[in-house]
A and B are shown apart, each in its own frame.
Chain A
Amino acid sequence: MTDVLLQAQNLSVSRGELTVFERKSFTINTGMLFQLQGDNGSGKTTLLRAICTLIPLDEGELRWRGELLPAAREQYFAEMCFAGHADGLKGDLTAVENLTSTLTEHTPTVIECIAALEKTGFTGRDDLPCRVLSAGQRRRVVLARVLLSQATLWVLDEPLTALDASGRELVGKLIEEQVGSGGSVVYSTHQPLDVSGFPLQTLALSD
């Protein structure tokens, strides 16, 4: 059974005089993979941030499970997780400390955090602050945060950035699991992702 999660109708966002994108409509259901394609500067990040209600819309409306956003913000945020360009990790905290201080409904315990880090293939020392970790390792901490959120909808901005081959494979696997278990994923990318067996929708953005 599929539920309608997020409905976007005629979304338009402009920055000053410049129109970033115009009249984008799409629907995201449970068990669905939604891919945003486009070159650098085509507005992928802006669209993702608009989906998260971080950027106000010039026109159009967003609904979460039928409820208008941003009014229904709290229900929405309880079921979604966003991983953006900036990783949102505190450089002075260790990976586990970063994860235990996430502000989700349920604060993860240390054991849960370690399990999630193992699942994402984090091999950094957990007594080191995040600022000394490599970009790829930090990315894995972010993935662990996404896993721990237990969100229905993942919104990922360029999830493959800074990851090696094994990391890219891992992202594919995690997304597969998420979609397979009835969740859905929206992500932006300029390289194709190796995920098969799920309805994939693609929205192409161009200048």
Chain B
Amino acid sequence: MFRWFHKLASTKNFYRLAEIMTPLLAVACALLIGVGLYQGLFVAPTDYEQGESYRIIYVHVPSAWMSMFIYMVMAFCSLLFLVWKMKLADIVAEVSAPLGASFTFLALVTGSLWGKPMWGTWWEWDARLTSELILLFIYIGYMALRSSIENKSSAARAAAILALVGVVNIPIIHYSVEWWNTLHQPASITKLGKPSIHISMLIPLLLMALGFTLFYFVTMLLKTRNVILEREVNSAWVRERIKEDRL
């Protein structure tokens, strides 16, 4: 097990694996999102309270999930990097940050768009939207710190510490914002993503969530490959590939 792990951790092996995996995942991702969108937009029934506008959840909810999931991936990779000095983990954390920030931004925009027909305002200080907004700030802080430290190896470790500090804080922030929200508004507004969702609405949602996850992995692998090439441009195997025009 450990050996396998160690082998994967070598950037060269990972590059090869990513090369094989990317097209497979990309096809699966396109299928899932295609079917999910069709099911969500055309097959799933109209909500009797919100009408058609609820259908934005098929983008909003998976984006919100991804924004959290990607941060967890980043934090886990940061731990791997700090403790076991796995360079690959650092690359994954680095390329994941902008992806996570994009999903967070998407969740915010779709949440705001959804808010207009639901609440009549473009922005409601709803607990989840507020949490997403703070998460976006945390992503931006991570990327800003990373880009402003010139020495790459220092930047990687400083960013990893920040990611871990963030992962301790995110549940606390989430909880405190929820608490703040219930304090200031009695439960008159139904939250996004109701717990009792009909199965015909749930299936497309899960398809979309899986599709988004695969989309993240595809883009992450593509970007990771780029960074590996960039960082190891002087190594023998990269030179060989460049010579053979096989990147």
Contacts and interface: CB of A to CB of B under 8 A. Distances in A.
Interface string B136-164: 00000000000000111100000000000
A56 B153 CA distance: 9
A15 interface: yes
Nearest to B85: A56
Contacts of B150: 16
Interface in A5-47: 15-16
Q: How large is the interface on B (under 10, 10 to 19, 20 to 34, 35 or more residues)?
A: under 10
A173 B152 CA distance: 42
Contacts of A56: 153
Contacts of B152: 16
B4 to A, nearest CB: 26
Interface residues of A, number: 3
Main secondary structure of the interface of A (DSSP, over half): loop
A71 to B, nearest CB: 14
Interface string B74-96: 00000000000000000000000
B147 to A, nearest CB: 14
B229 to A, nearest CB: 15
Interface string A51-89: 000001000000000000000000000000000000000
B161 to A, nearest CB: 14
Nearest to B150: A16
A82 B151 CA distance: 23
A20 to B, nearest CB: 12
Interface string A128-147: 00000000000000000000
Contacts of B151: 15-16
A159 B151 CA distance: 28
A16 B152 CA distance: 6
A56 B150 CA distance: 15
Contacts of A16: 150-152
A46 to B, nearest CB: 12
A15 B151 CA distance: 7
Contacts of B153: 56
Interface of B: 150-153
Interface of A: 15-16, 56
5 contacts: A15-B151, A16-B150, A16-B151, A16-B152, A56-B153
